[in-house]
Amino acid sequence: MDTKGRESAFLAARICELGCKVLVMDVGILGEAEDIQCDITRQAVAEAAGTTIDSLRNVGSRGKAVEGMARGAKVLARALVDGRRIHGAISLGGAEGAVLAAAAMQQMPLGMPKMIVSPIASGQRTFGPFVGTADISVMHSVVDILGLNRVARPIYHNAAAGVSGAALAYEQTLATHETESKRRQIAATMLGNTTRPLMRIRRTFESECGDLVIFHANGVGGAALEEHVDAGHIDGVIDYTLSEIIGHIAGGFHDAGPVSYTHLDVYKRQVHRLDKDPVYRDTAELGYWLAEPYWGRGLMTEAVRAVTRYAFDELGLFRIEAGVFGWNVSSVRVLEKVGYSFEGRLRKQVFKDGQRVDVLLYSRLRTDEVE
């Protein structure tokens, strides 16, 4: 608030005029708050991070100081939410201010309105650091956050109206939340090429089983899915679209990145938590399918090789097995190229295309020596 105090005070006044109360948190580091009364001071934010504002000012790095204030903002945001003292959040700021606000807003629950107003909210920026996997709205301020003028005022007016209306609606939602039906929530992953099958699944599923919660498998959706699984919001998962897994293992446009949660990270945790059935805790089954236009290019061989390597090196598995239809010579070649060994024939195990079909069982152990 040392450089954005006047503008923040204008925004707060507009929110009050629209029927909401305002709680102002100051996450500034240098100087002192000007032209605004702060309910939560920067000293309090620093103390919530286990330090002092003077220590952060002298830490020797602007980045480290911002990290410290972000920790404090997270702690205080969680406390405000847990105490039901807030029903929404909005911030004004540049790059550092937006990062600090995002750190606090990402602690707030789904559905609670969150808005960042900033000049960096343009198409030239990557929004991951500000939005993450949360439902945060980002509004471009057009001009820098310095001064009240004919361009800035209507933007701040609209921002105040947006967050105020959303906060009032959120408060009403909380009052009716307990009366909502408790349908099961089943997550599913979808991308463009899997839209039609998921639409078909949804029609049958929602009439008989519960709500299908679709996550866009673009490198962010999978991470959001797993956060909701960990939070207990999801009752089951249909992991129908595996683009993020392949992107993470082999590299690709939908790679969630090494610092993000991925489906494979969840599977890794599950593998190490199979205490109820330790007999099979380090064994897995492999299955795969490839559309016919892409046959003969070696794509599946490389995919199976990459997944196998990841399963042994990262998931700590000891044995992987795969079954292929007796007539599927191409699948057999894929497995043999990657070092899988034939173990036996399961006679008439499956019913395929109107007839009983043998399944050929292949496996590979972590200790197998493969050329």
User: What tokens does 198 get?
Assistant: 């998921």
Q: What is the reported pLDDT for 276?
A: 43
Residues 86-107: pLDDT tens digits? 999 999 988 888 888 999 998 8
Instruction: Mean pLDDT check: name the lowest of 106-115, 215-224, 328-337.
Output: 215-224
pTM over 0.85: no
Residue 178 has pLDDT above 90, yes or no: no
Q: How far apart are CA 282 and CA 268, in angstroms?
A: 10
Measured at the CA of 342, the angle between CA 336 and CA 345, to 5 degrees, comes to: 130
Residue 271 has pLDDT above 60, yes or no: no
Q: How far apart are CA 125 and CA 318, in angstroms?
A: 44
Residue 112 has pLDDT above 90, yes or no: yes
Torsions phi, psi for 358 (to 5 deg): -70, 150
Q: What is the reported pLDDT for 124?
A: 63
- For residues 268-277, average pLDDT: 44
Q: What is the reported pLDDT for 177?
A: 66
Instruction: Mean pLDDT check: name the lowest of 262-271, 340-349, 350-359.
Output: 262-271
Residues 30-86: pLDDT tens digits? 888 888 999 999 999 999 999 999 999 998 888 899 999 999 999 999 999 999 999
Residues 308-333: pLDDT tens digits? 998 898 888 999 999 999 999 999 99
User: What tokens does 194 get?
Assistant: 């899997």
**What residues pair up with 118 in beta bridges, in sequence order?**
140
Domains plus CATH for the chain?
5-177 (3.40.50.12020), 181-273 (3.40.50.12030), 278-371 (3.40.630.30)
Tell me the average pLDDT of the chain.
85
Q: What is the reported pLDDT for 40?
A: 94
